[in-house]
Amino acid sequence: MICGLIFIIGVNSLIYAEESDPILEFYVKRGNSVFSSRNPLERAINFSFMAKTYYKKINNEGEAKKVDSAFSTHYYSFGQLDSLIWDSLKTSKFVEFEYESPNIFDMNYIYNFYPNDTGAIDLPIGFDVDSTNFEDPIGVVIIDRNLYFIKWLYLHYPNEVSHKRYSRSFRFTNINNYIFPDSIWVVGAKRGIFSAENYRIETGIYNIEIYH
């Protein structure tokens, strides 16, 4: 819930920068370079991690009730998923999480800064689409101001066909100079015949190991 509140506040607090803003262009280029060079999938490294995923329904009062959970181990070889081991049986209500996050610095976005930048180490950058793009998500990315590593990513999908609302959020960690998600949230409201089904999928990623 916290990540969702941050996302809403962030989007409403953005101001658009002119396309020729050299400072904004600098951070976008540096963010793109660091994400590409430190992304374990793009660098085709071998690694593994364990994950705990919880599927929760949200009632009309905003309270979450756990419906299902799963524990899994993921092995990647040369940047591709090689094997997946489930430690508990899935049920029909369980939804698998999507591990990969997009490189929003390498997409056709309109980027923008927050007003009243405090100069803190966390630098938020908003990204939006023009009126001809109905597919890509919009949102906010937070990077390290000095090292340009991505720390948080909030994605909102305004045109998800099967949903009234759908968003994905990532928190990242730095391991041996590679950037891995260590927490992933999906918040959605599926379209129904009479009402929407509100849910949240929470995934914690741990025991990340890199193999040389």
> Domain residues of the chain, as ranges?
2-211
Phi, psi of 58, rounded to the nearest 5 degrees? -115, 125
CA–CA distance, 132 with 81 (Å, rounded to integer): 34
pLDDT for 17 equals 44
Average pLDDT over residues 125-134: 86
Spell out a b/e string for 28-50, using b for 16 or more CB atoms within 10 Å of the CB, else e: beebbebbeebbbbeeebbbbbb
- Tokens found for residue 75: 């092995």
Q: What percent of the chain has pLDDT over 90?
A: 57
CA–CA distance, 155 with 153 (Å, rounded to integer): 7
Residue 117: which pLDDT band, with cuts at 50, 70 and 90? confident
For residue 95, give Cα distances in angstroms to 69, 188, 200. Answer: 9, 12, 10
162 C-beta neighbours (distance < 10 Å), count: 8
The rounded mean pLDDT for the chain is 85
pLDDT for 18 equals 44
pLDDT for 119 equals 83
Tell me which DSSP letter residue 135 carries: S
pTM as predicted:
0.85
Bigger pLDDT: 13 vs 172: 172
**Worst-scoring range by mean pLDDT, 63-77, 86-100, 167-181?**
86-100
**Worst-scoring range by mean pLDDT, 26-40, 87-101, 124-138, 148-162?**
87-101
